[in-house]
Amino acid sequence: MRKRILSAIVSTAMAASLLAGCGGAAAPAAEAPAAESKAPAAEAPAAESKAPAESAAPAAADAGDKTIGIAMPTNSLERWNRDGSFLKEQFESAGFKTELVFSNNEIDQQVSDLENLIADNVSLLVVAAIDGESLSTVLKDAKDAGIPVISYDRLIMNTDAISYYVSFDNYTVGKLQGEFVRDALDLDNAEGPFNIEFTAGDPADNNAGFFFNGAVDVLQPYIDSGKLVVPSGQTSFEQVATQQWDTQNALDRFQNILGSYYSDGTKLDVALCSNDSTALGVAQAIQSDYAGDNKVIITGQDGDEANLANIVDGIQTMSVYKAVANEAVATLDLGVAILNGETPDAGLIDAAGWDFECAYDTSSYDNGTGIIPSYLLVPTVVTKDNLKEALVDPGYYTMDDKGYLHPVG
Ligand code: BGC
């Protein structure tokens, strides 16, 4: 039932996006009048075929005999719950059975969860790694058993067992955060100097460096010229990383920074956080321990429910939204092609007819054994000003009567 509702919502959203004449994920239905987004899907037959549940890829032969193993890092960080349920829903709607596991952010548990999935003879593994460096041995077992592996969202390193990577353009996520800060402070024209502190992600996650570098590459020239200053002096990835992307770790570190470098009244202009779980901790630290009364610009990524509430309340300034529902659709179509014995390439994107932007990339992601062909979706900036058109109108979230957002699915 829930599947049908989601499909209808997303289908309607895609109808709105088509009516607006733009791609779904990258350019949310900004021009789609609200009324149109409510139009029954029946009035937009062209869009109907693009609903995720009716993915354009031909079904895998004998899908019903096949089980897809889906391994997500943890259910303690909001987004992986959504990924897990979208992936399960996609593969089941195409006729497959699924086994979905969450590994509590513990590397050993993920290894043993994967061992169990391999022992259960799954036909395909979709894996978001906890530690990208720790799965070589277990994935060799998958390879030996002839089980193809899709590296999902996070690149798995040092193994030739994975054949494809599906993610968002991770460097662009950081770049969008850096550009947002540059534009919000008008760094090219304003006199400054402005004070900024960085909070990055888990060093075990290959994505974390991409996010950080994307942001720093935009902001470094202003740091070099003195227009942006980092009072803590913590500018390297290692110094600003957050183990396990954990909210409490980010909070603790930021309280220390505020206590050590800002208690004398030094003004903090920007807290650049790589994602929402870290932004949540940093925002709490600022609320409890920052002496200044200016509004600190706080960035994030994911559109977690609590962070969107903070955006509505003016506590967090922006988030980079990644439509994981679409990431699941891309993974299904790729998985079906692999199971059908094909060797997917850029042609999959055209063949699938996705109504969201996706690039086929064969240069950015080297996992130590060579380049891993990647399907990269496009992230979107959300702020208080575009929450409705970027997230509600396309059907990803609902908005309650107080203006707060709640994820669908
Ligand atoms: C994902 C982000 C997420 C982070 C923490 C990263 O690998 O790409 O979307 O915020 O993990 O869960």
**Ligand 1 mutation target, pool 153, 169, 244, 321, most atoms within 8 A of CB:** 153
Q: Which atom of ligand 1 is nearest to the CA of 77?
A: 12
Question: Can you state the angle between helices 78-93 and 2-19, rounded to 10 degrees?
Answer: 90
Place of tokens 């502190």: 197
Note the pLDDT of residue 156: 98
| Both tokens assigned to 225 | 């010229």
* Residue nearest atom 6 of ligand 1, based on CA coordinates: 207
Cα Rg of the chain, angstroms = 21
Q: What is the pLDDT of residues 163-219, one digit of tens each?
A: 999 999 999 999 999 999 999 999 999 999 999 999 999 999 999 999 999 999 999
Instruction: Identify the pLDDT of residue 58.
Output: 56
Helix (H) or strand (E) holding 284: helix 276-289
Closest CA to 215 of 190, 232, 240: 240
Instruction: Pick the closest to residue 289 from 174, 194, 197 (CA basis).
Output: 197
User: CA-to-CA distance for 10 and 395, rounded, in angstroms?
Assistant: 6
What is the sign of the dihedral through the CA atoms of 331, 336, 337 and 339? positive
What pLDDT, on a 0 to 100 scale, did the predictor assign at position 30?
29
Please return the burial class of 108, using the count of CB atoms within 10 Å of its CB with bins 0-12, 13-18 and 19+.
exposed
In the predicted model, is pLDDT for residue 21 greater than 90?
no
- Is residue 281 classed as helix, strand or coil in its secondary structure? helix
Beta strands in 89-161 (DSSP E): 97-102, 124-127, 149-152
- Angle (CA) 153 376 144, round 5°: 55
CA of 2 to the centre of ligand 1 (A): 25
Q: How far is the CA of 202 from the centre of ligand 1 (A)?
A: 9
Q: What are the tens digits of pLDDT across the range 185-199?
A: 999 999 999 999 999
Look at residue 64 in the predicted model and tell me its pLDDT. 85
Mean pLDDT for the chain overall: 88
pTM over 0.75: yes
CA–centroid distance, residue 138 to ligand 1 (Å): 23
Select from 157, 245, 247 the residue to mutate for testing ligand 1; criterion: most ligand atoms less than 8 Å from CB: 245
SS3 at position 397: strand
Ligand 1 pocket residues where CB is under 6 Å: 77, 79, 153-154, 201, 205, 207, 245, 275, 277, 301-302, 322
CA 80–ligand 1 middle distance (angstroms): 8
pLDDT digits (tens, 9 = 90+) for 95-124: 999 999 999 999 999 999 999 999 999 999
pLDDT tens string 336-395: 999 999 999 999 999 999 999 999 999 999 999 999 999 999 999 999 999 999 999 999
At 59 the pLDDT is 67
How many helical (H) and strand (E) elements, i.e. helices and strands, does the chain have?
A: 15, 15
Residue 42 clears pLDDT 70, i.e. is over it: no
Burial (CB count <10 Å: 0-12, 13-18, 19+), residue 312: middle
Token pair listed for 363: 């240069």
DSSP conformation class of 265: S
The rounded distance, in Å, linking the Cα atoms of 188 and 181 is 11
Length of the chain: 409
Query: What pLDDT does 54 receive?
Result: 43
CB 52 within 8 A of CB 25: no
